[in-house]
Structure 1
Amino acid sequence: MRAYGFSEVGGPEKQTFLDVAVPEPGPGELLVQVRAAGVNPGDWRLREGSYGVAGPAVLGREVAGTVTALGPGVEGFSVGDEVFGGCPGMVGGWAEQALVTASFAAHRPDEVSPEEAAVLPVAAGTAHDALENLGLDAGETLLVNGAGGGVGIPVVQLARARGINVVGVASPAKHELVAGFGAVPVAYGDGVLDRVRAAAPGGVDAVFDLVGGEALRTVAGLVADRSKLRSVADKPLARELGGGEVERDRSTAVLTELARLVATKALDPHVTQVRPLDEAGEALAQVENGHAVGKIVLVP
């Protein structure tokens, strides 16, 4: 079958279309005919070697599609089911058919399109799990550092749905977007601490970071209880500062809940581009260069 990935670890010049065998589902896996696949920063990081996967390999960490075969021991799914979920080993979704981990898959409701469902496992799943890790109550205040990105947008929505106040640090070009989802936007750069304090005079109860580096170090001091500090962008620095990374719960239950929220219009996955698989390279370049607004979906 036709797929898109990389020939060997390296830069964008290593990306290419591949002719690969249709995979066989192993224990606990589904084989699906892909209807839509999400594009994430983890895809270019995988190509660069961050996750220890050598090429050639197919890119893609999340898909929605139709079940065509079941691996040994799979229960709760049948051939013909419309599902969405994460790919095993974080790779393999940018293809005509892909493997999906059954324990990190869910049935797709009719009210949720394949394009919407395909982007839930990685970004929205991370946002959900971050809020579970932080354990904030309604009325408390969350600072989202990088609120305009692929994970920032769903975490703002999910936090507001729980009654949590949100201050979102984002570039000025994304302030209208962030505000539209219910956060108070503030700009990066010099004076950010004063701007956050003005937006949240009662203080900040937790920080969720999607930027890392000095931007994380700067805002970390806003939260007294460093156990309420989580980062997906700079895990070593988060640990150094007394916080930590997001502990993921890659489960059917989480995906089912996220799909319910989309179906009831409580969560907008904010898919802004649906592109053919032929344009996978261009789509990934947009994400890698930081030029993507919202989520990009590939359709074989």
Structure 2
Amino acid sequence: MSRAVIYEAFGGPEMLELREVPEPHAGPGEVRVRVTVTGLNPMDWIISSRSEVAAQFGITVPSGFGSDLAGVIDEVGDGVTGFAVGDRVYGSALGRAVADFVVVGTPADSLWHTPEGISDEVASTLPVAGATAAAALAAIGLRSGDTVLIGGAAGGVGVFAVQLAKLAGATVIGTASEGTFELLRQLGAEPVAYGPGLADRVKALAAGGLTAATDLFGTETAEAALALGVAPERISTIAAGPNPPGGVRATGGIDAAPDAVKRITDAILAGKISVPIAANFPVERIREAVTLQAGRHVHGKIVVTL
């Protein structure tokens, strides 16, 4: 037997249970990963709490939980090439990542080798958040010389978006709560408080004008950017649904370029991107971890260790 986090009905973190389950095994074209760390994302708890969102991803109850994982391959099925027992890997397994063992197929877009020099803890944070941040910036054609407003800049996706934008040569203004201002300054962004009056505060900071924006939280940042005259095609959102305000561009990790995650790992190895870990919980405390994640005031990434 092995352990997995399961929920029988949609709802809050109290629905999550760590249970003993039959041990899975790799079939043809698959590998089994002995999971060491999983990285949490807002979509994890949104899927487990809202049946209509889960349906969009083809998830029904009972279900496993989580998406991002890192660990070591301990079984390899027939026909698998490029992966071997003992390889350190990271990747995604939507709706089943928080488990001792996860069986995954081996396409290059869902499982990667973990580079030497990157810990499992850091690797587990990359697939969803890294790809989403890259997609959000690609959707607006971010380029050197831009002044970009990033909404939710201190969150799990935001910390990647800020640093990727800086590497692209942009000036970054990031919305956040005052408690995260110092973190954003360390990452290279000029912080600004979210809430009523955002457009006026951003205008005061962007002396040369705002040229692009991405909203990683809802619609407030997108609406402020529109009010400041940013063209809709230069504004993206990831959490406003398929029809965001004013014709701005909706996007997500699925739209990321095939090499987006590898480019992020290369930047981490080069010391150009850092990954702030806000908290690390043992899997036995999964409900606490998800409660913290769902509060939407996390400064960086939350990981769960198995």
TM-score, with normalisation over the residues of structure 2?
0.90
Correspondence 1:34 to 2:38: no
Change in CA separation of 1:26 and 1:139 when aligned onto 2, cut-off 3 Å: farther
C-alpha distance in 2, partners of 1:80/1:252? 25
Match of 1:141 in 2: 147
Match of 2:8 in 1: 7
Contact 1:85 1:255 survives alignment (8 Å): no
Match of 2:19 in 1: 18
Change in CA separation of 1:9 and 1:174 when aligned onto 2, cut-off 3 Å: same
Match of 1:112 in 2: 118
SS in 2 for 1:174: helix
How many percent of aligned residue pairs carry the same amino acid?
A: 35
C-alpha distance in 2, partners of 1:219/1:73? 50
Question: Paired residue for 1:228, among 229, 234, 245?
Answer: 234
C-alpha distance in 2, partners of 1:251/1:31? 26
Contact 1:223 1:229 survives alignment (8 Å): no
Matches within 5 A, 1:87-236: 87=93, 90-102=94-106, 103=108, 104-214=110-220, 216-236=222-242
Letter in 2 for 1:286: L
Offset at 1:59? 0.7
C-alpha distance in 2, partners of 1:74/1:195? 54
Moved segments of 4+, more than 6 Å: none
Letter in 2 for 1:92: R
Match of 2:54 in 1: 51
C-alpha distance in 1, partners of 2:213/2:30? 36
Question: Which range moved further: 130-139 or 247-256?
Answer: 247-256
Offset at 1:194? 1.7
C-alpha distance in 2, partners of 1:296/1:204? 31
Match of 1:264 in 2: 270
Question: Paired residue for 1:242, among 247, 250, 254?
Answer: 247
CA deviation map 1:131-163 (0-9, x unaligned): 222222111111101111111111001110111
Offset at 1:120? 0.4
Contact 1:106 1:255 survives alignment (8 Å): no
Number of equivalent positions: 297
Letter in 2 for 1:153: V
Match of 2:290 in 1: 284
Change in CA separation of 1:251 and 1:135 when aligned onto 2, cut-off 3 Å: closer
Letter in 2 for 1:2: R
Contact 1:106 1:252 survives alignment (8 Å): no
Offset at 1:91? 1.4
SS in 2 for 1:99: strand
Change in CA separation of 1:134 and 1:213 when aligned onto 2, cut-off 3 Å: closer
Contact 2:155 2:297 survives alignment (8 Å): no
C-alpha distance in 1, partners of 2:71/2:212? 36
CA deviation map 1:222-274 (0-9, x unaligned): 34321111111113452x41112225246763322221111121111211322
Contact 1:105 1:252 survives alignment (8 Å): no
SS in 1 for 2:169: coil
What is the Cα-based RMSD across aligned positions, in Å? Answer: 2.0
Match of 2:305 in 1: 299
Structure 2: where are the runs of 5+ without partners? Answer: none
TM-score, with normalisation over the residues of structure 1?
0.91
Letter in 2 for 1:97: F
Offset at 1:12? 2.6
C-alpha distance in 2, partners of 1:214/1:36? 33
Structure 1: where are the runs of 5+ without partners? Answer: none
Offset at 1:29? 4.1
